[in-house]
Structure 1
């Protein structure tokens, strides 16, 4: 081949060059898009409530919780399904304009490998949504104080059941949350 001759670009090299040009144009366009305001301080403001990466863990023995709007916090309890010990978010639910439930997560005490009979830590996560005060009510159900899957006490035993077999009521634990 003659060193002074050039070959015409192939269709593949043209396609790659076109894709690179399109990508460069898209990046330049995105960089030029702002908040629609000429005030740099205004465009730097966050658009939603501030959320910390890691929720604050509150001790369960402290029944008074203070939080700031946008803050996420958790309450963690030990439970064991094999002994019928469970925790539930009960009624009345917290005022959603002050605190909103973000769900719950269970982690086995035995680590990655499930072990029959092992307990677990159940973590309830909440987010402070607005200023005010509300209550979070949790029900602690056990073998001796059973309840249904929503944390409501099981129906009273029939009158034919002996007095010694009467289960006790599940424990209700109330947390007062103040958001500022």
Structure 2
């Protein structure tokens, strides 16, 4: 039979084990917004570029060419969370090896474009501000990723 003293001694250890097994505190991959365009990550790290979007209003983002060096970054795909109005698009990556790569995202506000290929032949400015500062025109957002 287990004594009360023995049970009280093992309770903290069991609680700690439960926290480890449930992943408590693991918030997932690091997310970088439009203000974070110079990013440093560790080899093997998963991360995401998180950008504001409202697809219902025709506001979308696209991964544009040229693509990031596939030897440095692996593109794992994109996803969106439309929420209750304002939404978010996510572009997921894994850092494969040490080096530097550039990720080019195209911001398309209010239906001005429907893919990165559509605007490839037109001159599109590279954004220096946030989407709120330049939300009337399409613009490229360049992210410089350093993998250490």
TM-score w.r.t. length of structure 2: 0.66
Partner of 1:54: 28
The Cα shift of 1:108 comes to 2.0
Q: 1:121 aligns with which of 58, 67, 88?
A: 88
Q: Which residue pairs with 2:138 in the alignment? A: 170
Taking the aligned partners of 1:172 and 1:62, their CA distance within structure 2 comes to 14
Q: 1:130 to 1:62 in 2, by over 3 A?
A: same
Counterpart residue number, 1:28:
none
Structure 1 residues 142 and 59: alpha-carbon distance in aligned structure 2, compared to 1, 3 A threshold? closer
Whether 2:58 is the aligned partner of 1:94: answer no
CA distances 1:26-60 after superposition (whole Å, capped 9, x unpaired): xxxxxxxxxxxxxxxxxxxxxxxxxx882111232
Count residues in correspondence: 110
Using the alignment, how far apart are the partners of 2:50 and 2:72 within structure 1?
A: 20
Give the 3-state SS of the residue equivalent to 1:82 in structure 2: helix
Report the equivalent of 2:98: 131
Cα RMSD of the aligned pairs, angstroms, is 2.4
Pick closer, same or farther for the CA change 1:85–1:71 going to 2, 3 Å.
same
Quick check: 2:102–2:143 contact (8 Å CA) kept in 1?
A: yes
Higher relative contact order at CA 8 Å, sep ≥6: structure 1 or structure 2?
Answer: 2
Provide the TM-score with structure 1 as the length reference: 0.55
Unpaired runs of at least 5, structure 1: 1-51, 111-117, 157-167
| CA distance in 2: counterparts of 1:150 and 1:137, whole angstroms | 10
Asked if structure 1 preserves the Cα contact closer than 8 Å seen for 2:79 and 2:89, the reply is yes
Give a deviation string over 1:84-143, Cα, whole Å, max 9, x none.
110011001000100111111111222xxxxxxx23211111110111101000000013
Aligned mates of 1:154, 1:84 — CA distance in 2:
19
Task: Please name the residue that 1:81 is paired with.
Answer: 55
